[in-house]
Structure formats: structure tokens, C-alpha cells
Amino acid sequence: MNKKIVVIAGPSGSGKNTLIRKLKERYPRIDTLVTATTRMVRPGEEEGRDYFFMPIERFDEETARGNIAGTRFVPLFGGVHYGIFLPDLKKKIDTASVLFAPVDLTGARWLKENYGALTIFIMPESFEAYRSRVHARSPEMSEREFSMRMKIAEDECRTHAPQYDYRVVNADGALQETVEQVIEILKKEGYTL
């Protein structure tokens, strides 16, 4: 099987999207899978670049048609669905040297099973540093939302991370080292950048 897909996962605020952006700047033939979601568009986000934003009815229709796989329901904020949008995957897999998929454990399992994806989990250096990073990034977040995010992140790091092929620590101020570590893993695993 041709090695194409790499899952980059990690808790919200772990730096996975910044890491992917840096890798894409260095290797222009790398692309990113855009997933589907039922959540609302946030300021600065763009349809087809950040997510394919869909009302729940369309998400359910696309799933029933077989266009969305690896779905996950997140009960946070009234409930949001996420899934792998297969038309985007099929379009990009032939043109990208490597296709990064920023998905959760459900999506990672589906991509590993169906496409032989390599899975990498981005870990915070410590929960204290992670708490500070998330708080600085979103100071307007309510205490309730912040607590729920911390609980989800702890669960992901303790329960989900060990199920990935690799775990890479992204320490504050050490993004370049993290980028180099991921490049080394990709080369070791036979990916062509």
C-alpha cells in the first residue's frame, strides 16, 4: 500500500494545526484533509479550508450516502458531529505527497484500517503548560468550558495517546524541534515528502 495518509492528533491547543502548517510550508506537495462538522463557523474560519460546515440534516444525509466516515459525536456545547469527508479525501490522495489528517481516535482508526495511515499524537509537555497555553489562546472561554476542555485533554492524553503509533511532545517554544521529530518519523516510516 502506498504510504500517503498521516493522522496528526492531539488535544485542542496542542499545536497540531501549527505543526501541519509548518510542514506544508517546507514541503509544498503535502496537503491536509478537511473534515466535516456540524458546529458553527468560528471567526476567521473558512468553508472548505478549515472544515466542511454542515447542518445536522446534511451531515446525516452525507453519512447515509457513504460520503462521511469515521464519525464522532462530541457532547460539548450542545453536541457536535465530526467525520472524514470522503470526497475531499479521494480528491487529495492522488495529488498530495503526504495527506495529513487532523482527526481524533475514531477517525484515526478508520484511516488506519482503510488506508494504512500512520498515526501520531501530539502531547503537551505538561498539563500545567497546556492549561496556560489554552487559557492564553482563548482568555474569553468560560470556566465551565475550560474545565470541560481540560478533562477531555487529560482523557485523550491518558487513554487515547497510547493507541497511536507515535507520541511526540510539543513543548512551548520548541515547535521547530517538534517539526524535525515528525519529519524524522515520516522518513523512517517510508513516506515521501
What's the pLDDT at 149? 83
Say if residues 142 and 134 touch (Cβ distance below 8 Å): no
pLDDT tens-place string over residues 53-76: 999 999 999 999 999 999 999 887
pLDDT band at 2 (very low <50, low <70, confident <90, very high): low
CATH topology of domain 5-188: Rossmann fold (3.40.50)
Mean pLDDT for 89-110 is 94
**For 143-160, b where at least 16 C-beta lie within 10 A, e where not — what string?**
eeeeeebbeebeebbeeb
Whether the pLDDT of residue 3 is over 90: the answer is no
Mean pLDDT for 174-185 is 96
The grid cell for 63 is 453519512
Whether the pLDDT of residue 89 is over 80: the answer is yes
Q: If you count them, how many residues does the chain have?
A: 193
Q: Is the dihedral of CA 47, 36, 41, 130 positive or negative?
A: negative
What's the pLDDT at 36? 98
Domain residue spans in the chain? 5-188
pLDDT band at 77 (very low <50, low <70, confident <90, very high): low
pLDDT band at 78 (very low <50, low <70, confident <90, very high): confident
pLDDT tens-place string over residues 23-52: 999 999 999 999 999 999 988 999 999 999
pLDDT tens-place string over residues 146-178: 888 888 889 999 999 999 999 999 998 899 999
What's the pLDDT at 74? 84
Say if residues 169 and 126 touch (Cβ distance below 8 Å): no
What's the pLDDT at 130? 84
Q: What percent of the chain has pLDDT over 90?
A: 72
pLDDT tens-place string over residues 109-154: 999 999 999 999 999 988 888 888 888 877 888 888 888 888 888 9
